[in-house]
Structure 1
Amino acid sequence: MTEDPTLDPTGKSLWRPLRLLQASMDAEIARIYAEERIAGLKPSYVMELLRLHARGPMTITELAGSVGRTHSALSQKVAAMRAAGWVETVAGDDARSKKVALTDRARGIVGRLAAEWHATEAALAEIEAEIPYPLSRVVTDIEQVLARKSFHDRIAEKLAEDPAWE
């Protein structure tokens, strides 16, 4: 059966290879954790765990702002990290507020997480040195292009030209 790209445009994607690459690299980091028998730790938790270690307990809003995520997204992540035993909720500065804090379990491995972070960054720098156009440069270049004209505006212009969008 021949695929019709007008019926299923998802067969072609410029971004899918990047998402798949990142997922593959995250899986390799997760494999390191599994080899070290660090159960229930996802690579996506590490930045928040290290941030909490460095800065102490924070509200979800404070933690979200510090890592550049939305409150909603971070609230979901904190719930998952709490269920996995990495964080807990503690009383905030007043009776109405709560803060996210590391559990003893997380405090026990935070040094190892920092070591993994440094090793990962070093491995990425090594990879970037081997390719002609480093990903960090690609990101900076895309950010500069989007500063001139937003991704939203670019998509909206394309949709305005497409009769299927009407």
Structure 2
Amino acid sequence: MTHVETLPAALEVDVIGGLEQALKCLQERDAALLEAQANERSITARLGCHLQAVFPDWDVDCEFNCWRGPLQSRGHIVVSTTSATTEAPTIFPDLLIHRRGSGETLAVIEVLKSDAQSARHRERRKLQHCLKRLGCPHAAMIEIGVGKSRGRHHLEMLATPLHGEQGL
């Protein structure tokens, strides 16, 4: 069961509906990953596949390096990581629904597993920063239920920045 925290604006309904549909597919088709509490990157990649099916006219990318130049990464806290790290903090959004090469972005998404509560504040800050930088209309924080919480997802839509509040 998915829980949506905010009341959607009319323009968000299609995005929220698409996110809910992809989460339902994740629950149905990838239950073994959720039950096993697989790595967040594995779960996010599968969610991205389901989102691509829901948004066929858009590109859906995981950990997409969307910054247009090296100076745009300023202001981020970059934490060293290795391939063995199961919760690798990055400066890139977990999922991006966009049109590659056009600068057009529909949504930026951060994913958290239900067993990784300590990362919530950091991920929210990253999402808010990405939202401002990309100037996209939608941002979502999705907590995916894993292990005993499998099947319980929490979808939170963040407020978009006002027009003219682009970047830092």
Of structures 1 and 2, the one scoring higher in RCO (CA 8 A, sep 6+) is 2
TM-score normalised according to structure 2 size: 0.24
Greater Cα radius of gyration, structure 1 or 2 = 1
The structure whose residues are more often strand, as a share, is 2
TM-score (norm 1): 0.24
